[in-house]
């Protein structure tokens, strides 16, 4: 992958919603998070496995992130990819299969390109599959700009050679067991590209348009110091309340609506300021660096055990079972299910107040009341 496009496919949701963000981000250095590095390692392993399945030469990559979970997830992805290839073969005896294919969509987005994990051309259908190794949130393929951009890039490669009428796109997130699929006609894709994509890409490339705050800010390099984001949250925090002295139910509901976002934003700014102070010696008016609380530690466990035993103390060790996640990693998902499936249960979660948009079904008030009483 290496080089990054300013208007990249992976960041397209952000720059399509907040067009000036692409140029604003340019002043921040590229810093690869451990999650991104882990994702890159998983992609390299998946690419290798898929190539071997397709009887192509490939050398197994080695990374610091190799683990049972990555093995299983990439196996899952490869079986899914092979299913897609088999599906394509049902309508076309000799589909074109491309792995980690560079896709150039610069006809619609200035200097735009990305990498398609799996691209299959089977007569009138183009299949695009994207592996997402993260386990943050489930991503939908429906009108997903990243997938639509990959589709445009793939069409640019193959449209003159094949009579492609529709594009079938899938996001595969093995760690979340999420498989999201969306199919679109080439006609609708082109309409979206001309009416939605091109005007926004043009603005984004010039740094024009309005800043817009939303969930896409999460991956923006400017998020800690972005003025638009600060103004939006400070505006929310400056809600005007009128007398009487106590907040009304409506006013409390207003506070709840913004509390979560406000907390995330202030945590981002705090983390940024702290990092600047620690790593660059930056001084913030009214703040200082101090040492956090710490717990006592043994200098050397073996020496401690020897000394305690020599003093006549025998009962100095304790043995405990490893946690569920560690056990699942140790056994692998399938064996874990087979050996311990019936011995693991999920207790009822702590009752929490969340916005209506949350996907979990609401629970009955009576139950909530009863549970709160039990907790008392």
Positions that interact with ligand SF4 (CB under 6 A): 14, 18, 21, 24, 211-213, 216-217, 220, 222-223, 226, 228-229
Distance CA 230, CA 234 (A): 6
CB of 138 vs ligand SF4, minimal distance in Å = 21
DSSP class per residue in 331-367: H-HHHHHHHHGGG---PPPPP----TTSSSPPPPHHH
CB of 212 vs ligand SF4, minimal distance in Å = 6
CB of 211 vs ligand SF4, minimal distance in Å = 4
Residue nearer to ligand SF4 on the CB measure, 92 or 212: 212
Containing 39, the helix (H) or strand (E) segment is helix 34-53
CB of 342 vs ligand SF4, minimal distance in Å = 47
N- to C-terminal Cα separation, the chain: 55
Cβ-in-10-Å burial (0-12, 13-18, 19+) of 344 comes to exposed
Residue nearer to ligand SF4 on the CB measure, 75 or 261: 261
Residue nearer to ligand SF4 on the CB measure, 20 or 116: 20
The DSSP output letter for 2 is -
**Beta-carbon count within 10 A of 258 CB:** 16
HSE toward the beta carbon, residue 250, CA cutoff 13 A: 4
Residue nearer to ligand SF4 on the CB measure, 23 or 327: 23
CB of 192 vs ligand SF4, minimal distance in Å = 21
Residue nearer to ligand SF4 on the CB measure, 108 or 265: 265
Distance CA 43, CA 361 (A): 34
Distance CA 371, CA 94 (A): 60
Which residues, at least 6 apart from 256, have a Cβ–Cβ distance to it below 8 Å? Answer: 353, 355
Residue nearer to ligand SF4 on the CB measure, 164 or 226: 226
Residue nearer to ligand SF4 on the CB measure, 21 or 170: 21
CB of 185 vs ligand SF4, minimal distance in Å = 31
Closest CA to 213 of 159, 258, 183, 168: 258
CB of 20 vs ligand SF4, minimal distance in Å = 6
């Amino acid at each position: 992958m290496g080089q990054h496009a300013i208007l990249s496919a992976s960041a397209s949701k952000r720059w399509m919603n907040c067009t000036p963000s692409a140029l604003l981000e340019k002043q921040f250095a590229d810093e690869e998070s451990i999650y991104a590095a882990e994702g890159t390692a998983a992609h390299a392993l998946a690419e290798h496995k898929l190539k071997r399945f397709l009887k192509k030469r490939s050398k197994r990559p080695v990374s610091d992130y190799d683990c049972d979970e990555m093995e299983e997830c990439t196996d899952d992805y490869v079986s899914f990819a092979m299913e897609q290839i088999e599906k394509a073969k049902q309508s076309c005896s000799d589909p074109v299969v491309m792995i980690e294919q560079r896709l150039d969509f610069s006809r619609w987005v200035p200097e735009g390109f990305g990498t398609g994990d799996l691209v299959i051309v089977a007569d009138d259908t183009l299949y695009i599959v994207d592996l997402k190794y993260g386990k943050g949130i489930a991503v939908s393929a429906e009108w997903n700009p990243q997938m639509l951009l990959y589709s445009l890039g793939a069409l640019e490669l193959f449209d003159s050679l094949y009579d492609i009428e529709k594009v079938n796109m899938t996001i595969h997130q093995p760690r979340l067991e999420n498989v999201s699929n969306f199919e679109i006609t080439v006609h609708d894709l082109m309409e979206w590209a001309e009416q939605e994509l091109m005007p926004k890409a043009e603005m984004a490339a010039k740094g024009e348009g309005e800043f817009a705050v939303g969930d896409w800010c999460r991956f923006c390099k400017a998020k800690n110091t972005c003025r638009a984001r600060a103004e939006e949250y400070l505006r929310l925090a400056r809600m005007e309340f009128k007398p009487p002295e106590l907040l009304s139910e409506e006013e409390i509901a207003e506070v709840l609506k913004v509390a979560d976002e406000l907390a995330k934003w202030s945590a981002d700014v705090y983390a940024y300021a702290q990092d600047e102070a620690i790593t660059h010696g930056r001084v913030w008016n009214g703040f200082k660096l101090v040492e956090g609380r710490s717990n006592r530690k043994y200098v050397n466990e073996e020496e401690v055990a020897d000394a305690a035993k020599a003093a006549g103390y025998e009962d100095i060790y304790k043995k405990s079972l490893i946690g569920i996640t560690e056990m699942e990693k140790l056994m692998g998902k399938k064996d874990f299910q087979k050996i311990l499936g019936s011995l693991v249960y999920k207790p009822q979660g702590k009752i929490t107040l969340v916005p209506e948009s949350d996907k979990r079904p609401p629970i009955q008030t009576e139950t909530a009341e009863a549970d709160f009483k039990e907790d008392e």
